[in-house]
Amino acid sequence: MRKLLYSICFLLIGTSSFAGSINFVAKCSHKTVEVGQKFKITFSVNSSGGNFTPPDFGKLRYYNGGQSSSSQNINGSVAVINSISYIIIADAPGNYTIEPAGLEVNGETYKSNSIKIEVVASNQNSANSQRKKQNARKKTAKEVEDYIFIQPVIGKRNLYVGESVSVTFKLYYQLPVRNLSQPDKMPDYNGFWSKDITLGGRQELPIERINGEEYNVIILNQVLLSPQKAGELEIGSLEMNSIVQIRTRQPRNNMERVMGVGLENKEVRLISKPIKITVKPLPSTGKPADFSGAVGQFTMNFKPNKTNIKSNQSIDFEIKITGSGNLPLIGAPKLSFPPDFEAYDPETKNSFSTNMGGSQGSKSFSYLVIPRHSGTFDIEPFAFNFFDPIAKKYKTISHNPIQIQVEKGEEEENVSYTPRDKQDIELLGTDIRYLHINNIALASGEGLFYGSATFYLLILFGIFLIAALFFLSKKFKERNTDTIGIKKSKANKLAKKRMAKAKKHLDAKESTLFYEEISAALFGYYADKFNISLAELSQDRIVDLVNDDTIATELKIVLDEAEMARFAPSSSISETDLYEKAVNIISKTEGLAL
């Protein structure tokens, strides 16, 4: 029946165009198998539709089958691979050939390759017999399987990561159940967050009808699952033992028939079928950077218990998330408080219930914070992000900025002040120095000396003074360099002064007195000049001291003439000439600068 089902329909969803050529292949998991060993034959095609004709397996026994579809990204284009697989068991050794399977796509028929397989006899007799035994037991179990089985019921098989789904394991039975033990193997929920939400005791449900037959139903186990990763996830099987009463159709012996014992207690191993779930990853578009993984529908409330406090007192900030979704998985959001706040780890309070529909209620986080210093602080806006699987998009709830006013507490300094060194502690004990009250310069800005007109005038005056001194000294020097002229005039003056008496006598025409005065004046002059007494002075001495030839000769002429004329007046040199000559001698002597 099932085989037929697989063979007939290979019609899958989607009618994507066959852009490339159709590649229809058969593959076998083994080349050589033992008798009784299962092996897998897979037919795969890179198209998404068609009419599949299974091959004839001949003497090989069909055991199980399945169908899958996968998409592959080849050179940038997405190719869909559809495959059908068969689990086959060979009952007898030998070489088998599996004929090609056929596939009809758009009116064209494709053939797969044929597969050769060698089946050898099992060399382990014991294993073989055991297998046979198992097969036998299975067979008996199979008979019972239709009367008692576990059916997992899942809300939906297609969900987002983080979304919640409930799974209920129901036991269907028609046979009288003698004993029902606790499930000894719970399914493993790899990749899921799970929470057992089974109500106490076994819940009996009303009779259900399957394929026209009535079944009693018991809820064995209920679990809430939330996938934590994307992909194809499998919920494993739940296993348990039960003892059922089977009516054996044919009594094994007469005794039983007589006793009316047509019933037998039989232990049945019940194994539920695994369930495959497709988990979609959360969309990456619009995913907030600080998304923490909350999935569901929520509201958030954020507030401090007070906004106006003194330093070193505590504030409680409370974040309350209300709604339904994966509440148990929501961690405490990270709040960033001003660095001056001493923040403690948040305290979590759960007030939600988890049931078939997921978790509902609220979860609150309270953050204890102690501001250590005064000031006005803005609490940075914090946003709570979650994914709404119904709206299929991310949602953000943010709160308005909160301002905390911290006033100076009484002990602020004591708490925060840490003495730096010994010196500072000593300083603390003393008081500040008193006001300055004397000699206060209360000049306004313009009254400052530097930059004032007075300052610049003084500088200018100084520079002017230097210039003036420079010029003054230059003039002074100029006059100093003209020494001959100055000395001449000076010496002339001196000579004329010395000769003043002689001039008087010349003017009075007193010749004798004139000549006397000439020599007296000259001797007096030289005596003064060389600081020698008149008694020590002679004509030779003067010549010696003057040490100048022209002066010496002229002096000799004048002195001789004056001496001669005193006693015998002559007229070789006139009196006026003599006077001039004497004056000249004194002048010249002065000019020598002895």
Interface positions with other proteins (CB under 8 A): 338-340, 373-375, 377, 406, 408, 413, 416-418, 420, 424, 427-428, 430, 432-437, 440-451, 455, 458-459, 462, 465-466, 469-470, 472-473, 476
Instruction: Tell me, rounded to whole angstroms, the distance of Cα 124 from its chain centroid.
Output: 65
Cβ proximity to other proteins: between 121 and 468 the closer is 468
- Could you report how far apart the first and last alpha carbons of the chain are, in Å? 160
Q: How far is the CB of 425 from other proteins (least distance, A)?
A: 8
Cβ proximity to other proteins: between 450 and 567 the closer is 450
Cβ proximity to other proteins: between 63 and 455 the closer is 455
Q: How far is the CB of 508 from other proteins (least distance, A)?
A: 46
- Of 44, 157, 53, 41, residue with least CA distance to 97: 41
Q: Are 90 and 35 in contact (CB under 8 A)?
A: yes
Identify the three-state secondary structure at position 256. helix
Identify the three-state secondary structure at position 164. coil
Where do the H-state alpha helices sit in 232-389?
A: 254-259
Cβ proximity to other proteins: between 390 and 442 the closer is 442
Q: Are 148 and 242 in contact (CB under 8 A)?
A: yes
Q: How far is the CB of 426 from other proteins (least distance, A)?
A: 10
Residue 32 dihedral angles phi and psi, to the nearest 5°: -125, 130
Cβ proximity to other proteins: between 430 and 531 the closer is 430
Cα(251)–Cα(265) distance, rounded to whole angstroms?
14
Cβ proximity to other proteins: between 202 and 479 the closer is 479
Q: How far is the CB of 304 from other proteins (least distance, A)?
A: 17
Identify the three-state secondary structure at position 378. strand
Q: How far is the CB of 459 from other proteins (least distance, A)?
A: 6
Looking up tokens 């000076």, which residue turns up? Answer: 490
Cβ proximity to other proteins: between 136 and 466 the closer is 466
Residue partners of 277: CB distance under 8 A and separation at least 6: 154, 157, 158, 159, 165, 227, 232, 233, 234, 235
Indicate the burial class of 277 (C-beta count within 10 angstroms; 0-12, 13-18, 19 or more): buried
Residue 90 dihedral angles phi and psi, to the nearest 5°: -95, 135
Q: How far is the CB of 164 from other proteins (least distance, A)?
A: 37
Q: How far is the CB of 335 from other proteins (least distance, A)?
A: 14
Its sign, for the CA torsion 302, 305, 310, 313, is: negative
Q: How far is the CB of 494 from other proteins (least distance, A)?
A: 23
Q: How far is the CB of 345 from other proteins (least distance, A)?
A: 21
Cβ proximity to other proteins: between 249 and 334 the closer is 334
Cβ proximity to other proteins: between 318 and 340 the closer is 340
